Amino acid sequence: MSDFVDGLRAYKPSEKAPDFVVANLLANAKELSEWLSENADAEGFVRFTIKESKGGKYYCQKDDYKPSAKQESAHPSDAAGSGGIDPSDIPF
C-alpha cells in the first residue's frame, strides 16, 4: 500500500460523537471522482484503509490487497455485493 487517496480526507470524530462513530470523512467530489477513475480495478472497485499517523492524524490510503481465488470463494457474502458486512454489526 502506498497511494494516498486524492480528494478523500479522514478525521477523528468529535469527543461528543457516539462511540460507534469511528471516523469522519470529507470528500472533494471532483478530485475523488478522478482518482477513483484512475485507480479502480477491472471490476470497478477500489479498496481503502483509514490509518492513523504517528502524529495522531487520520489519513486514507489505497489498499492494493488482492484476495486469492480460495479467499474469494470463502466469503460468498462479498460476491453478493454486501461488502462483507455482517448485518448484526450495523448499529441501526
pLDDT digits (tens, 9 = 90+) for 12-61: 999 999 999 999 999 999 999 999 999 999 999 999 999 999 999 999 99
Q: Residue 6 falls within a domain, yes or no?
A: yes
The model's pTM: 0.63
Q: Residue 78 falls within a domain, yes or no?
A: no
Phi then psi for residue 37, to 5 deg, are -60, -40
How far is residue 82's CA from residue 2's CA, in Å, rounded to a whole number? 26
Total domains present in the chain: 1
Q: Supply the DSSP symbol for 4.
A: B
- Judged by DSSP in three states, 26 sits in strand
Structural domain for 46, as ranges: 1-65
- Which residues, 6 or more positions from 47, have their beta carbon under 8 angstroms from its beta carbon? 62, 63, 64, 65
The alpha-helical segments, DSSP class H, found in the chain are 29-39, 69-74, 76-79
